[in-house]
Chain A
Amino acid sequence: MQIETQHEDFEGHSWIGNVLRKLHIDIPLFLGLLLITALSFVILYSASTQNLDVLVKHGMRSCLAFLLMICLAHVNPYQFKRYSTILYTFGVVLLVAVLLLGVFGKGAQRWLDLGFFRFQPSEMLKIATPMMIAWYLSEHALPPKSRELVGAVILICIPTLLIAKQPDLGTAMLVASSGAAVLFFAGLSWKFIVAGSAFLGALMPVIWHFLHDYQRNRVLTFLNPEADPMGKGYHIIQSKIAIGSGGISGKGWLESSQSKLDFLPESSTDFIFAVFAEEFGLFGCIGLLTLYLMVICRCIYISWQAQDTYSRLLAGSLSFTFFVYVFVNIGMVIGILPVVGVPLPLVSYGGTSMVTLLAGFGILMSIHTHRKLLPT
């Protein structure tokens, strides 16, 4: 037997509250997401140089993603736990399939063409990996010992390496960090964390040694985009001009000159934050960051309130990964991180990342709205 709970947050009995509650929707989180999504239309309208087609497509994609979120919120978190291994295994098999297709199709491939739509298995692993690690660690006593650590690291490495091979370094990094976040929340000893970081650091020169000259050049460009001002560096230089010229208060909506005249490439996708910063200035940026922070706070609150180890670890990891998304994208656009293909969550146009993100929020809502009342 499980008991549905209405908790302290919303004691109101308005009919709309009732409906949302019946839908297993967490209202503060829902409102936060809605607000950011609404803002995304405003920015996209400007970034796409007022292209309504783009807005319609973005709208359709958002609806689909929100629908999926609501569906997942209905699922009992126990089911997530139960299907963790299956989902993970399935995802890895699909990754291998994609890789083989790439080998036979003579070229890099990330997609699995299912005829009616193209599916990107690496997106699925963004959720399946933390689920798997959370399940694996929750089956053992916390904090994880060295044996569990080794197991978890292997489980993280399999999808990460497969995705990195595609090659999709951005996604690989997100998958790895979502898995690592679970380990962190499970209370992995600081000793291991420090040793692990040191080991990774020490591994770099070894890997470097085995690279070809041209591969080294790629890595150098990746780390120092300014060295390739016509490629990745071009993005960075233009994006810095856009952001800097925005100043404190911004040039105003639809007034960004950099993106309009096509100086800023990928202005509606990965570099959309630059458009926003140019139009709304420092105040706007702080506002957007605050909005993101509010969503993150709610997510962390949800993981705090979660009632079993699995839910806690999964919720913690999903919340943290959401932050990583925000940080990596903005960090790249403002030139403090290397350029990797990570979109600004909920705002960037295109890709399947929006669906994946909202699926994650669906799981968080499910975890929160299926708690039972504890005897106090």
Chain B
Amino acid sequence: MSRRYTINNSAAEQRIFLNRVVAAFILILVLIACLIVRLAYLQIVGHEHYATLAKENSIKIAPLPPTRGIIYDRNGRILADNIPSYTLELVPEQIPDLEDTLQKLQELLQISDEKIEQFREQVKRNKRFASIPLLLRLSDEQVAEFMVVRPFFPGVDIRAGLVRYYPYGELVSHVIGYVGRINEQELKTLPEANYRGSYHVGKSGIESAYETDLHGKTGYVENETNAQSRAINVVNANDPIPGVDLYLTLDIDLQKTAYDALEGYNGAVVAIDIKTGGVLTFASRPGFDPNPFVFGISAKAYKELQESESQPLFNRVLRGQYPPGSTLKPFVALAGLEYGAIGFQNRMFCPGFYQLPNSTHKYRDWAKWGHGSVNMNDAITESCDVYFYKLALTLGIDSMHEFLQKFGFGEKTGIDLVNEKPGLFPSREWKRDVRKSAWFPGETVITGIGQGFTQVTPLQLARATATLANHGKVVQPFLVNRVLSHGVTLPPNTPKDPVLPVHPENVDNIINAMINVVHSSRGTAKKIGLGMPYKMAAKTGTAQVFTVKQKEHYNENQIEFKLRDHALFIAFAPADDPKIAVAVVAENGGHGGTVAGPIAKKVIDQYLKMVAASAN
């Protein structure tokens, strides 16, 4: 033991150590001197100032929450407003007996047990000196009733504030979203200082995507208070900076037309201004009334919404993933031309079905007896399936995947909203990695007509249509007009490849075929073309919800409504100078041309009229 105590080579080491001890001691003295200087500053120089502040023991700091930005449509009509509202707030620290106070208030103002329980939760999460709301949106009677007894309730007060109101309700519920009470999860990630005094945060839609901008910056006020802690005088204030007012590209009239046109169906209508990428309509039906969410929707009402068969809370435009059906055909056709897999005039024979070599499985055409000899124009106009079965096989899945991905299939559009779904365009790699299986030629065949694994969101479909109309110059959809909305910080999304490498003459051929869909006597949407004063280019689509067995036939009237095909429609107009691109999905609508086409027509008609009117 004592061996360890022998001092080894100690002289030098000790000298180093002693030097350092001296250095440390000097540092300590200097730092203590700093403390004393600062104390002297506070207690001698600042004494008078602080003594005044302390005199009445009276400085209380309260947050000044900023006014949330208003959301307007493109014509300045208010989509999300702030309306005055009275809130009953409690500061636990200043209340002698919280339980007793709660009980008395509950009797006085008829507050539900659920609300009281919510309040208790909030108390646990907050500091004792923070003001916590018990009851939102007091009626004038409730305000009056409380004001009479206010002196008997120290630490309880009514605050006049602004709350969110959505005048258009369900019409824009999916695009605007809504604000709701800040929950535990959000409490952890929101910037603490900026949310003192704020009870609401954007939960979905624009309200969530632009939360930082809409919210603004919280200010605070130093109040002089009396013994009951009620403010009597403002000592110092730091004003809040209100949130940014947002102007959307959305047109509420057009939105209403689209939403109303969908009546009777669940589905989605998206319209994009091709010149800018601004989204004109973003309708997802059914919607829901977002206003109850602001004040805390009751558990029962929420459950009803969640369990409703028509899924009103589901944002079909952004998150609905549907098989594109025949609406994919113009893009597959363009791929065929670009890759040299086929010429525009090359003809094929369609007998009404297609069989792979060495296979008995028949891939049927929607026209039982076939289309006869067709070229690409006929195949698009009449929506011939067999032509596209063969074309897909010639192209191969790899080429199709490469080309269609450029049009945004299988990728998020990057619109300025959160929680977008990417859809899916299958590839060999995807099947290997996700489905753990090899790619079969039969899967290539049905991919050619937009069936199989392929899934698109209505927004993706609209974007691809707009890009096609724009001759490959990618149209990037967005909702907030950055020029009008002063001070928005969210950076704009720029498309990955701004211009797709496609030949204009190939695009023109495809567009001509799409014009024939509406305007030729054999087009699948010829009904809507009758008497149309402008030229529209379009494509119908019918997406299978369930598979018809080999020996059976699809009969619309014999199957349950919810298993009926989805009706799809893509269109843009005017064909020679495209201004608007539209994608429509009507769930279980049957045939695209019959149900979805007229919806698109209504939207385009109205928009072109509006454009003409504003030009005059």
Chain A residues within 8 Å of B, Cβ to Cβ: 1-2, 76, 78, 81, 141-143, 181, 184-187, 212-214, 217-218, 221, 227-231, 234, 237-238, 240-248, 257-258, 260-263, 265, 277, 281-282, 285-286, 289, 293, 296, 300, 303-304, 307-309, 312-313, 316, 320, 323, 327, 330-331, 334-336, 372
Contacts and interface: CB of A to CB of B under 8 A. Distances in A.
B5 interface: yes
Given A142-B16, A247-B47, A327-B35, 12 more contacts: A78-B5, A229-B61, A231-B127, A244-B46, A244-B47, A245-B53, A262-B93, A263-B57, A263-B59, A312-B14, A320-B24, A330-B35
A231 B192 contact: yes
Contact of B42 (A143, A244, A313): A244
Nearest to B131: A230
A316 B32 contact: no
Contact of A184 (B20, B38, B130, B212): B20
B54 A247 contact: no
Contact of B193 (A78, A181, A221, A285): A221
Given A187-B16, A282-B43, A265 B129 contact: yes
Contacts of B49: 244
Contacts of B129: 234, 262, 265
Given A1-B2, A296-B28, A258 B42 contact: no
A244 B44 CA distance: 8
Contacts of B21: 185, 300, 303-304, 316
B496 interface: no
Contact of B2 (A2, A231, A258, A289): A2
A334 B42 CA distance: 8
A277 B193 contact: no
A2 B5 contact: yes
B50 A244 contact: yes
B194 interface: yes
Main SS class of interface, A: helix
A277 B36 CA distance: 12
B39 A307 contact: no
B18 interface: yes
Given A213-B191, A244-B49, A316-B24, A230 B196 contact: yes
A258 B58 CA distance: 9
A237 B222 CA distance: 10
Interface in B1-52: 1-2, 4-5, 7, 9-10, 12-14, 16-21, 24-25, 28, 31-32, 34-36, 38-40, 42-44, 46-47, 49-51
Contact of A277 (B31, B39, B62, B196): B39
B40 A218 contact: no
B610 interface: no
B189 A334 contact: no
A210 to B, nearest CB: 16
A234 B220 CA distance: 11
Contacts of A1: 2
A227 B61 CA distance: 13
Contacts of B144: none
Contact of B192 (A221, A242, A303, A330): A221
Given A217-B191, A229-B220, A309 B13 contact: yes
B24 A227 contact: no
Interface residues of B, number: 58
Nearest to A292: B32
A216 B220 CA distance: 21
Given A185-B24, A309-B13, A334 B192 contact: no
Given A187-B19, A230-B63, A300-B24, A289 B191 contact: no
B38 A241 contact: no
B190 interface: yes
Given A2-B1, A217-B193, A312 B17 contact: yes
Given A2-B2, A229-B220, A285 B57 contact: no
9 contacts: A81-B4, A214-B189, A243-B50, A244-B47, A246-B43, A258-B57, A300-B25, A312-B14, A323-B31
Contact of A241 (B17, B36, B53, B63): B53
Contact of A248 (B47, B57, B93, B238): B47
A293 B33 CA distance: 11
B282 to A, nearest CB: 27
B192 A228 contact: yes
Main SS class of interface, B: helix
Interface of B: 1-2, 4-5, 7, 9-10, 12-14, 16-21, 24-25, 28, 31-32, 34-36, 38-40, 42-44, 46-47, 49-51, 53-54, 57, 59, 61-63, 93, 127, 129-130, 189-194, 196-197, 212, 220, 222, 238
B192 A245 contact: no
B419 to A, nearest CB: 18
Contacts of A316: 17, 20-21, 24
Contacts of A286: 36, 39
B194 A217 contact: yes
Contact of B61 (A221, A234, A242): A234
A307 B191 contact: no
Contacts of B194: 217
The 4 closest A-B pairs by CB, nearest first: A244-B50, A228-B193, A187-B16, A217-B191
A241 B32 CA distance: 21
A230 B193 contact: yes
Contacts of A260: 57
B31 A327 contact: yes
Given A142-B13, A234-B61, A300-B24, A248 B43 contact: yes
Contacts of B43: 243-244, 246-248, 277, 281-282, 285
A331 B35 contact: yes
B90 to A, nearest CB: 16
A220 B51 CA distance: 29
Contact of A257 (B36, B54, B189): B54
A242 B17 contact: no
Nearest to B196: A230
B192 A241 contact: no
A63 B60 CA distance: 39
A258 B39 contact: no
A214 B16 contact: no
A134 to B, nearest CB: 11
A231 B5 contact: no
Contacts of B130: 230
A260 B34 CA distance: 29
A370 to B, nearest CB: 9
B50 A240 contact: yes
A263 B224 CA distance: 12
A276 to B, nearest CB: 11
A217 B192 contact: yes
A285 to B, nearest CB: 5
A12 B38 CA distance: 42
Contacts of B28: 293, 296, 320, 323
A341 to B, nearest CB: 15
Given A187-B20, A277-B43, A237 B59 contact: yes
Contact of B57 (A142, A229, A261, A296): A261
B74 to A, nearest CB: 29
A260 B227 CA distance: 13
Contacts of A212: 189
A245 B193 contact: no
B254 to A, nearest CB: 35
Contacts of B47: 244-248
A246 B41 CA distance: 12
B26 to A, nearest CB: 11
B482 to A, nearest CB: 20
Nearest to A310: B4
A246 B196 CA distance: 30
A39 B411 CA distance: 69
Nearest to A327: B31
Nearest to A243: B42
Given A2-B2, A244-B51, A247-B51, A218 B34 contact: no
Contact of B5 (A181, A185, A307, A312): A307
B275 to A, nearest CB: 33
